[in-house]
Structures are given as structure tokens and as C-alpha cells.
Amino acid sequence: QVQLQESGPGLVKPSQTLSLTCTVSGGSISSGGYYWSWIRQHPGKGLEWIGYIYYSGSTYYNPSLKSRVTISVDTSKNQFSLKLSSVTAADTAVYYCARSSQYYVYFDYWGQGTLVTVSS
């Protein structure tokens, strides 16, 4: 059973960089065949896909966030990470990591989510 777990600061100051890590257990990122994504949910709102990474390091980002997003992978630790720069209060959200097939991108495994608040 694949499990994902987000970790990182719950409070980030405006203009700084939000950094989160997702640790995967029960399966290897290196095995291939899957995209590893970040998705966020603003308080009381819907879901917004941020971007994905493949085990090889190839990435794709939501065009609306592309200029501020970096996703990286550390296969030795079975982790992938999100960095979102120049944050504002509008980036306050619950951030989820999730897995999908690389062929059909629906999300079959999710982390529990972590709330990140942007405030001074």
C-alpha cells in the first residue's frame, strides 16, 4: 500500500519561499510509470494542480504558477519536493502530494495534506 506524507513549515512569511517535502512509502519513486504531483486547496475552495515530477527528473508545471514553482526529486530518499517562491496570502492553502499514472493522470494516492499559511 503506497503512502505519501507531506512535511514542512506551516507558516511562511510573504515574499519568502514555501518549501514542502513528500515522503513516499510502500513503493519506489524510481520504479517509474507514475507522476508525482503537488495539488493545493485554498480554504473552503476547490482543487488546483500545481505540477508533477517523474522519477527521471522531468517536470511540468501549471502555467498559472510556472514562474514561481520548482519541483525536485530525491530518489535515494524516495522523496519529492515543492518550492513556491515569492508567496503572498493568496498562496495560503492545504498542499497535497499525490500519485498518478503517467498515462492516465487521475490521482489514486494522496498525502493527508498540510496547511501552509502565508502571514507576517
Give 49 or 80: the residue with its C-beta nearer to other proteins. Answer: 49
Indicate the SS3 state at residue 91: helix
Give 88 or 104: the residue with its C-beta nearer to other proteins. Answer: 104
Site string for other proteins, 51-90 (x = CB under 8 A): ---------x-xx---------------------------
Residue pair 17/84 in contact (Cβ under 8 Å)? The answer is: yes
Q: Which of 17, 30, 112, 117 is the binder for other proteins (CB under 8 A)? A: 112
Q: Determine the Cα–Cα distance for residues 102 and 99; give it in Å rounded to an integer.
A: 9
Q: Which element (helix H / strand E) includes 97?
A: strand 93-101
Residue pair 47/37 in contact (Cβ under 8 Å)? The answer is: no
Indicate the SS3 state at residue 28: coil
| Part in contact with other proteins (CB under 8 A); list of ranges 14-22, 26-34, 47-55, 71-79 | 47-55
Q: Which of 40, 82, 91, 111 is the binder for other proteins (CB under 8 A)? A: 111
